[in-house]
């Protein structure tokens, strides 16, 4: 049995060791600014990884979503559909633009956007002549949504899709990278993500010319002119050349990190296979998630504890865990926003009431993971 001295964390940055060399390069070139050779290299490496011709790196995933919505021409009063089971950053940028969110439930097979609920919402919106200007589909915990169905519905109604792949770099659907199915795809390099630049994000687009436009908007919409010329609103969203250096080194180990996250998930699945009250997050056959966080649900009738009780009990044993996302339609911030449930009821709320994310750091040892699994089994059996 492992003697615990310090907390087993949920997910912490895991450096490759090469980061400082690239940071040093920025210092040697005295290019301590947004843009620069590290930014170019990081963008090229992201584009190659995602099999697209270009990618723009920006200061955060939230900024990337904001720019995608701006590029889609979203304005005050427009409607935006968004997965309800997500982090608030998926939808905050719609609020920055004065748009009104409508939340779409999850379905049980992926925990991501329910095509059934999306169809209901689109039918209603069409009847009211209020079709949304965008659908933000979130690949939650690195897991692919049912993209064939979602893209088919979006095409039928002529609505652009923004894939929030903030948590899903390195995940695939039908063997293609997540983030490349919609009109725009965004990634996050926040500290807890599968790779990190401490803070940062990226945007990829179906139309490569949109990436040029992204860089323009992210640089205060400064026109090419010998003086400072601006025709439209812009943002200061470019990524620092120093931080991009971290990104280059992190990209070099992305596949290793994905493999380790998947191995951690597989070990949990194996370890809990004889516990009928525990179900690990499901996955579509045609998808391969990066398993950014290993998430599970408990059967609430068999386990007489709330996820919060379990989280607190784990904390007492030096184990960090997290409740699943509290759905957006249950947030005070969005109390007036419409919500469309899946055909079996409010799936996202049920997930929130019965689920937990377990430690998923790529530095976690087998001994530590065994300790976590023993602790979970003991807590839920009491």
Ligand X SMILES: Cc1ncc(COP(=O)(O)O)c(C=O)c1O
**What is the binding site for ligand X (CB under 6 A)?**
60-62, 86-87, 89-90, 138, 164, 166-167, 188, 190, 201
307 neighbors 324 (Cβ within 8 angstroms)? yes
- Residue (31 or 87) nearer to ligand X, CB: 87
Q: 3-state DSSP helix/strand/coil percent for the chain, to nearest 5?
A: 40, 20, 45
CB of 177 to ligand X, least distance (A): 16
CB neighbour burial string for 107-140, b if at least 16 within 10 angstroms, e if fewer: bebbbbbbbbbbbbbbeebeeeeebbbbbbbbbb
183 neighbors 206 (Cβ within 8 angstroms)? yes
Nearest Cα neighbor of 20 from 238, 249, 346, 202 is: 249
CB of 58 to ligand X, least distance (A): 9
CB of 82 to ligand X, least distance (A): 10
Helices (H), the chain: 19-28, 37-49, 61-71, 92-96, 115-127, 147-157, 209-218, 241-251, 254-271, 307-316, 347-354, 366-381
CB of 195 to ligand X, least distance (A): 12
- The residue nearest ligand X at its CB is 61
- Residue (92 or 172) nearer to ligand X, CB: 92
CB of 262 to ligand X, least distance (A): 19
- Residue (60 or 369) nearer to ligand X, CB: 60
- Residue (171 or 188) nearer to ligand X, CB: 188
Dihedral pair phi/psi, residue 223, rounded to 5°:
-75, 160
- Residue (78 or 167) nearer to ligand X, CB: 167
CB of 222 to ligand X, least distance (A): 23
DSSP 382: -
CB of 33 to ligand X, least distance (A): 20
Which residue has tokens 């436009």? 213
- Residue (198 or 306) nearer to ligand X, CB: 198
Compute how many other C-beta atoms are within 10 angstroms of the C-beta atom of residue 380: 20
CB neighbour burial string for 205-233, b if at least 16 within 10 angstroms, e if fewer: beeeebbebbbbbbeebeeeeeeeeeeee
- Residue (237 or 298) nearer to ligand X, CB: 237
């Amino acid at each position: 049995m492992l003697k615990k001295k310090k907390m087993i964390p949920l997910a912490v940055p895991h450096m490759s060791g090469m980061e400082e060399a690239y940071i040093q390069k920025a210092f040697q070139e005295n290019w301590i600014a947004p843009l620069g050779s590290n930014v170019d290299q990081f963008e090229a490496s992201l584009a190659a990884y995602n099999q697209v011709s270009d990618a723009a790196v920006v200061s955060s995933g939230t900024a990337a979503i904001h720019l995608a919505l701006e590029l889609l021409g979203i304005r005050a009063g427009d409607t935006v559909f968004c997965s309800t089971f997500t982090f608030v950053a998926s939808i905050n940028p719609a609020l920055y633009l004065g748009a009104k969110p409508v939340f779409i439930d999850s379905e049980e097979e992926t925990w991501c956007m329910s095509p059934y609920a999306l169809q209901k919402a689109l039918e209603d919106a069409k009847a009211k002549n209020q079709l949304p200007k965008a659908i933000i589909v979130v690949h939650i915990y690195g897991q692919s949504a049912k993209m064939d169905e979602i893209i088919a519905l979006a095409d039928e109604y002529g609505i652009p899709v923004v894939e929030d792949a903030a948590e899903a770099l390195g995940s695939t659907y039908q063997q293609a990278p997540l983030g490349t199915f919609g009109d725009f795809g965004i990634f996050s390099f926040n500290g807890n993500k599968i790779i990190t630049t401490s803070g940062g994000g990226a945007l990829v687009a179906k139309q490569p010319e949109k990436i040029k436009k992204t860089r323009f908007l992210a640089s205060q919409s400064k026109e090419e002119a010998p003086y400072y010329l601006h025709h439209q609103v812009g943002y200061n969203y470019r990524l620092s050349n120093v931080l991009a250096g971290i990104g280059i080194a992190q990209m070099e180990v992305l596949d290793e990190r994905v493999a380790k996250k998947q191995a951690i998930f597989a070990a949990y699945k194996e370890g809990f296979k004889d516990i009928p009250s525990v179900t690990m997050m499901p996955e579509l056959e045609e998808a391969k998630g990066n398993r950014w966080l290993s998430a599970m649900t408990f059967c609430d009738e068999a386990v007489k504890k709330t996820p919060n009780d379990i989280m607190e009990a784990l904390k007492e044993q030096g184990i960090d865990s997290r409740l699943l996302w509290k759905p957006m339609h249950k947030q005070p911030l969005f109390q007036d926003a419409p919500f469309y449930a899946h055909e079996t009821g409010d799936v996202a709320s049920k997930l929130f009431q019965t689920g937990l994310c377990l430690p998923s750091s790529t530095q976690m040892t087998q001994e530590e993971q065994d300790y976590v699994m023993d602790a979970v089994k003991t807590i839920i059996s009491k």
